[in-house]
Structure 1
Amino acid sequence: MTSILLVDDHDDIRDVVTRHLQKHGFTVATATNGVEAVLAVAQSAPSLILMDINMPELDGIEATMQIRSTDPEVRIPVIALTAYALPDDEARAMAAGCDAFHPKPIDFDRLREQIRTLIS
């Protein structure tokens, strides 16, 4: 079963996305900020990470860079989720090591397609 780490500082977004992904057969763990995300990945590597970009304590860009730097041999796909959907924001996310970019509000059909593509 595909395990997804969903990282977002908003309770309502975590709840909606978690329910949707579970309904489609994914196992979902959550983190509320980048610090929790880095720790969660170190403890149990998920199949894929959905990473909000704008969060307190440690943002998604820095968290992705830290995850990428811990073990270059392990490449967990990361999809950046953000309300900031300008071209510069996407370029920043990709430069940090994200594999895909998904603007909010979330298009769940497109998100599931991105997940399937990255984990296949």
Structure 2
Amino acid sequence: MARILVIEDNPTNMKLVSLVLDKAGHQVLTADDAVTGLQVINREQPDLVLMDVQLPGMDGLTATRQLRAAPGTRDLRIVALTAFAMPEDAARIRAAGCDAYLTKPVRYRELIDTIDSLLKPA
């Protein structure tokens, strides 16, 4: 299956998402802030990133814009995880370059379906 990086600062959310991904057969990488996440991306080259929007220090949308600007990561699949569910939040998330977004609390079937749709061969 896929190598998926979860960038999430809430330990409970991290554990739950990681367990779901592991059970679905994915290899899970983790980071609890965006700076560490960017380092993991450069070192491990995951297939997809689940990016919390609100992170300590650099937020997830700033990190996404950096990934989109770099040739080696511009095509990396990125799914935002957010507590924000207003239409303007969705527009802001898409404008930053996220391929999709899921609102918290994450519905795990929706998480797996989103990942599967983004990783299926073209």
Give the corresponding residue for 1:37: 37
What is the DSSP-based 3-state SS (H/G/I as helix, E as strand, rest coil) of the residue aligned with 1:57?
A: coil
- What is the CA–CA distance in structure 2 between the aligned matches of 1:74 and 1:88, rounded to whole Å? 24
Where do 4+ consecutive residues of structure 1 move more than 3 Å?
none
- What is the CA–CA distance in structure 2 between the aligned matches of 1:14 and 1:73, rounded to whole Å? 23
Give the corresponding residue for 1:26: 26
The residue correspondences of 1:1-120 to structure 2 (distance < 5 A) are 1-71=1-71, 74-120=74-120
- What is the CA–CA distance in structure 2 between the aligned matches of 1:96 and 1:108, rounded to whole Å? 24
- What is the CA–CA distance in structure 2 between the aligned matches of 1:19 and 1:107, rounded to whole Å? 13
Count of residue pairs the alignment pairs up: 120
- What is the CA–CA distance in structure 2 between the aligned matches of 1:39 and 1:66, rounded to whole Å? 12
Q: Contact 2:5/2:46 (CA < 8 Å) preserved in 1?
A: yes
- What is the CA–CA distance in structure 1 between the aligned matches of 2:13 and 2:84, rounded to whole Å? 15
Q: Contact 2:67/2:73 (CA < 8 Å) preserved in 1?
A: no
- What is the CA–CA distance in structure 1 between the aligned matches of 2:106 and 2:74, rounded to whole Å? 27
TM-score, normalisation: structure 2: 0.94
Q: Contact 1:41/1:67 (CA < 8 Å) preserved in 2?
A: no
- What is the CA–CA distance in structure 2 between the aligned matches of 1:95 and 1:52, rounded to whole Å? 16
How far the C-alpha of 1:72 sits from its partner, in A, is: 6.1
The amino acid across from 1:37 in the alignment is G
How far the C-alpha of 1:39 sits from its partner, in A, is: 1.1
Superposed CA RMSD: 1.2
The amino acid across from 2:17 in the alignment is V
TM-score, normalisation: structure 1: 0.95
Q: Contact 2:67/2:74 (CA < 8 Å) preserved in 1?
A: no
Q: Contact 2:33/2:56 (CA < 8 Å) preserved in 1?
A: yes
The unaligned stretches of length 5 or more in structure 1 are none
The amino acid across from 1:57 in the alignment is G
What is the DSSP-based 3-state SS (H/G/I as helix, E as strand, rest coil) of the residue aligned with 2:65?
A: helix
